[in-house]
Structure 1
Amino acid sequence: MKVLSVLLLAIAVFSHVDSYKILMYSNLFGHSHVKMLAAAADILTDAGHNVTVLMPVMDPLLRNKTSLKTTKNTIFVDPSPNVEMLMEQMREFLTNLWTADNANPLVMLAKAGDMARTFAEQCERVMSEPGLIEKLKAENYDLAITEPFDTCGYALFEAIDIRAHVAILSASRFDHVTEVIGQPIAASYVPGTQSTMGDRMTMGQRLGNYIQYFFGSYFFSNVGDADFQAAKKIVPIKRSWREVLPEASFILTNQMPLLEFPAPTFDKIVPIGGLSVKTDKKHLKLDEKWSKILGIRKQNVFISFGSNAKSVDMPEEFKKSLLQVFKSMPETTFIWKYENAKDKIVDHLDNVYLGEWLPQNELLADPRLSVFITHGGLGSVTELAMMGKPAVMVSFSNTVHDQTTRKTGIFFKTG
């Protein structure tokens, strides 16, 4: 019996030899970013690794929507009063997404300072959190993971001396990342992240594409530099994200090569498009409420414009147009992501159902859903591609236009 116990103990010990202690830095800002990193964390946890996710809270609305399922080790850093104030100002800016001239790079430039101040304030808050640096350093993590949308993670990795790290992008590429790692820009045929161009451009459009690339890179680089300056005031670090990021062992990108424009790349840039999309049927069970609603009529339409451009902020004339469509199609059920479910806007219509937060993945996987009306964000488009669901895209920002341009061909095939 003692021999068996020793043998079982030895098996248990050696079966975990290949597991790693991993620290993930995931800023709670932007649902698509949070969801992508959460999917990666859960996959690593399910593989037997010890994953801790550090989540600075920039958007309090995401505090209970981390998208984590099996990863239980979490550390939250609450926002400072200044961050809360700056985030309120940013929300005011986001309400104008429906009507802003997003194709104009000067619009992005005008908000660059506010964006940098917001992220820098939160980075300073993280670095000055009592006991956090010491606690993380004592853990001796084997690997760190972050998304360079917010580069404060790299300052933290330097502070606690983690040399092995991996970058995950919730997009196919970020212009500022392309610049610092030396990836060729190829502006003559590769649209920048913030570009409104396709892959076939006139000479004037190529110039416009490069200008949009330049402004997009400047915008996020400015955030990264502000993060570094804020962190350097708290901890004695010397290397900025510009030096640390290129040392990433891998850069994992949310792209599907078959659906992308051809572009120069490196061996360490690995596409993992669809990582956050659930395709296993046992994880796609729709809750009873929405399942019953889909069963009322034969035709069902799901409407969502993402987490930034909120339907509740939509101009009144846009809302009236949608309401007219709903009224003209009484034999069709409409499920609308609307951020105030108590609003009486659809009380006179019995075929429209509002939800502040909807199970998008599960709805798209349900064969009873007929069409998805979407803003064309990368997360939504990737889900559509993997679920084979017809869609109508309503583009209103540069990034969304980019994904719409990239993926439109999907819908001629599946629609």
Structure 2
Amino acid sequence: MGTIADVLTEAGHNTVLMPVLDPDLDRHTGLRLTTNVIKVASDSRTAAMFAQKEKFTTRLWSLNPSAYGMIKVALHTAQSFTYQCEKVLNEEAAISTLKAWHFDVGIAEAFDICGFGEYCRRLFEIFNVSSTIAVTSQVQADHVSKAIGVPGAPSYVPGSISTKGDTMGIMDRLRNLVETHLGNKFHETLYNMEIALFREKFGAKFKGHGEILSQISYFFTNSNPYLDYPHPTIHKVIDIGGIAVSLDAERNKLPQNLDEILKLRETNVVISFGTVVKARYMPENYR
């Protein structure tokens, strides 16, 4: 999201970013150009859950690689998102500031309805934003694809949380179908947890998540069509995988200590597990 904000700022747009809820990342937005940043402090319940992050994240390394195992973890995480969503909705100062901007376009990550601590997805309705764009940091998001009308093809396209690749036998295809369905059910559960907050605050007629997602103008994915599995798509889906990769040699210079380590060998392989499963929590026997 920070990269997208900077791209828009560089193009001359007035851009506002509401960044992540993780307290550890409070000073690490990754922004280079965007200066309009609105932060909402972590809800006390969310902060308490993040206090246990090391224990929780360490468990991720030893989880059984299954849809059930991932959903069990994700539901725990979903509760923290819901708490933070409630916090944002009740943060009157932030709401007033956002309303004053009179946005033309709203962009939100669609893992959950409140945008995974970025923008509150439902707030776009409150601010009367006419055009909305959904974003996922994954290569695909089955629940969003389903809502906007992308044809599903679990017989040969692995789901977002599938344990199978694109070469599947009959039983593998059945398992992929079940895992894709379970992934969609998880997001529907999370969405419903948050939509209940909006309907409590703004009335029972507040739009459902399916209706709002179906009305997005575009869906940006972190996919590279040359590397991803072949899959059905529609014109709303825009693949922007690699947008965060910098080609600036000056910016890509390593700190001296890391540069010296990498120069010890002719070739090196660097592995990153992203910002969720941090390598520093990896068990020693995995290293």
Contact 2:157–2:229 (Cα < 8 Å) also in 1: yes
What do the CA deviations read for 1:274-311 (whole angstroms, capped 9, x no partner)? 10111232432333333344345545454544433334
TM-score after normalising by structure 2: 0.90
Q: Equivalents in 1 of 2:246, 2:263: separation in Å? A: 22
**Residue 117 of structure 1 pairs with residue 79 of structure 2:** yes
Contact 2:112–2:190 (Cα < 8 Å) also in 1: yes
1:241 shift after superposition: 2.5
Contact 1:83–1:121 (Cα < 8 Å) also in 2: yes
**Residue 144 of structure 1 pairs with residue 111 of structure 2:** no
> Taking every aligned residue pair, what percent have the same amino acid on both sides?
36
Residues 10-49 of structure 1: pairs in structure 2 closer than 5 A? 37-49=1-13
Contact 2:38–2:94 (Cα < 8 Å) also in 1: no
- Partner of 1:4 in structure 2? none
- Partner of 2:199 in structure 1? 232
Residues 93-108 of structure 1: pairs in structure 2 closer than 5 A? 93-103=56-66, 105-108=67-70
Decide whether aligned partners of structure 1 residues 304 and 170 sit closer, same or farther in structure 2, where only a CA change above 3 A counts: closer
Q: Equivalents in 1 of 2:269, 2:173: separation in Å? A: 38
- Partner of 1:188 in structure 2? 155
Q: Equivalents in 1 of 2:263, 2:224: separation in Å? A: 33
Contact 2:219–2:238 (Cα < 8 Å) also in 1: yes
Q: Equivalents in 2 of 1:135, 1:317: separation in Å? A: 49
TM-score after normalising by structure 1: 0.63
The amino acid across from 1:218 in the alignment is: K
Q: Equivalents in 2 of 1:310, 1:295: separation in Å? A: 24
Q: Equivalents in 2 of 1:261, 1:178: separation in Å? A: 15
Higher strand share: 1
Residues 344-359 of structure 1: pairs in structure 2 closer than 5 A? none
1:142 shift after superposition: 0.7
- Partner of 2:117 in structure 1? none
Question: In terms of mean alpha carbon deviation, does 75-84 or 164-173 score higher?
Answer: 164-173
Contact 2:65–2:163 (Cα < 8 Å) also in 1: no
- Partner of 1:80 in structure 2? 43
- Which of these two proteins has the greater Rg computed from alpha carbons? 1
Decide whether aligned partners of structure 1 residues 300 and 179 sit closer, same or farther in structure 2, where only a CA change above 3 A counts: closer
What do the CA deviations read for 1:248-288 (whole angstroms, capped 9, x no partner)? 11111111111122111101111111101112324323333
Q: Equivalents in 1 of 2:13, 2:207: separation in Å? A: 29
- Bigger relative contact order (CA 8 A; separation at least 6): 2
**Residue 255 of structure 1 pairs with residue 239 of structure 2:** no
The amino acid across from 2:277 in the alignment is: A
Q: Equivalents in 2 of 1:285, 1:187: separation in Å? A: 42
- Partner of 1:285 in structure 2? 253
The amino acid across from 1:212 in the alignment is: E
Runs of at least 5 residues in structure 1 that lack an aligned partner in the other structure: 1-36, 320-415
RMSD: 2.0
The amino acid across from 1:131 in the alignment is: A
Secondary structure of the residue aligned to 2:275 is: coil
Runs of at least 5 residues in structure 2 that lack an aligned partner in the other structure: 115-119
The amino acid across from 1:214 in the alignment is: H
- Partner of 2:23 in structure 1? 60
Q: Equivalents in 1 of 2:37, 2:161: separation in Å? A: 32
1:74 shift after superposition: 0.1
Q: Equivalents in 2 of 1:139, 1:304: separation in Å? A: 37
1:176 shift after superposition: 1.1
1:225 shift after superposition: 1.6
Q: Equivalents in 2 of 1:129, 1:59: separation in Å? A: 17
